[in-house]
Amino acid sequence: MKKVYELTDLCCASCAAEIERNLNKLAGVASCNVNFVMQNMTVDFEEGADQKSVLKSVVKAVRRVEPDCDVVEVK
């Protein structure tokens, strides 16, 4: 299932690329695309993955690169 998240305070395209690389290696994430210009990311969760648990890992991975970045689900 794909979900879109807003990334607040994402500072540069290089950080966005690093976040994308890291998230694409994360268990429970089938694919991830980070768009620096739009300040958002699309996460495609693996089928059967516990999205709540995976999202916690996603947020941790984002904050390792961008400590002040918030991840907010787009409705």
Q: What is the second-level CATH architecture of the domain 2-73?
A: 2-Layer Sandwich (3.30)
CA dihedral defined by 4, 27, 54, 71, rounded to 10 degrees?
-40
- pLDDT value, residue 15: 96
- pLDDT value, residue 10: 94
Domain ranges of the chain: 2-73
Overall pTM surpassing 0.85 (yes/no): yes
Beta strand 2-8 with 40-45 is: antiparallel
- pLDDT value, residue 48: 95
How high does pLDDT run on average in the chain?
96
What residues have CB less than 8 Å from 14, skipping those under 6 apart?
Answer: none
Both tokens of 65, joined, read: 């690169």
Kindly tell me if the per-residue pLDDT of 75 is higher than 90. no
